[in-house]
Copies of this chain bind each other. A is one copy, B any other.
Amino acid sequence: MSAQKKPRVAKAVARKSSPAATRRERVQSKEDAIIAAAHKSLTTRGFTKTTMSEIARKAGVAEGTLYLYFNNKNALARAVLAAFYKRLTETAKVGVGKCATTREKLEFLARHHLESIIGERRLLELISSDVRNTEAYEGSDIYKMNREYVAVFDDVMRDGIWCGEIEEGAAQWIKRDIFFGSLEYSMRTLLMKKRSSKKDITAVVTELVKLLMDGAGAQFEPMSNHDLIKAVERVDAAAIRLERLSAVKM
């Protein structure tokens, strides 16, 4: 037994979590720490450049420990994404609740979505690249989270149709795609501009909602109520003159 493996000595690291916590609580807080560390790395450096050892270091655990909590790098990324969706859905619901009209709700949702995905743009990588392809997307956590999130939009649209603010048109899922698709693409464009300002975001939001509610086609010069009333008044005045005329002659 000569070249036996050297037994590793525990470094007696001070517990990060409160020592009095139960085992379950300690495990939970460690999971949170890992997700937080992963979130930070993923959002600042992107999926590919983020290494597991980096996450482990940030979270204050050994590399192997990550794999006790998540099967692999993708699963960890998915957990981060799930947490993001949860926050996103929550704030979206709250915000919509404070709006009165359908237009206000849509504008809030659009702005909220756009600002959020600009802030955490690196997370969207995960959706389009590895995460969606690695496993059966349908039935996954992310899929459910996404469903729950876009349901907020669906509800707004349903209400809008119900109270006549929106015309009941084609399949709902198409409008949903138009809404979220436009915003994600706009994000890319905004990020490419030298200084994407608040004004740009407002422009995108306004135009998108305008399109969803009013359309962008050249209207065929609809007459305004004002014009119509003036025209009617003139006719009215003419009729009165005629009435007077015939009354005098009678």
Mask of A127-155 contacts with B, CB within 8 angstroms, 1/0: 01110110001100000000000000000
- Candidates B188, B211, B232, B250; contact of A231 at CB < 8 Å: B232
Q: Which bucket holds chain A's interface residue count?
A: 35 or more
CA distance A238 to B178 in the complex (A): 50
The binding surface of chain A is classed by DSSP as: helix
Pair A192/B129 contact, Cβ less than 8 Å: no
CA distance A128 to B129 in the complex (A): 8
Pair A214/B215 contact, Cβ less than 8 Å: yes
A218 at the interface (CB under 8 A from B): yes
Answer whether A183 and B181 are a contact pair too, CB < 8 Å, given A125-B129, A174-B203: yes
A-B pairs with beta carbons under 8 Å apart, 28 shown: A47-B129, A137-B192, A165-B218, A166-B218, A171-B203, A174-B186, A174-B207, A174-B208, A177-B186, A177-B189, A178-B208, A180-B185, A181-B181, A181-B185, A181-B186, A184-B184, A184-B185, A211-B215, A212-B216, A213-B216, A213-B217, A215-B217, A220-B224, A222-B224, A223-B223, A228-B228, A239-B239, A246-B246
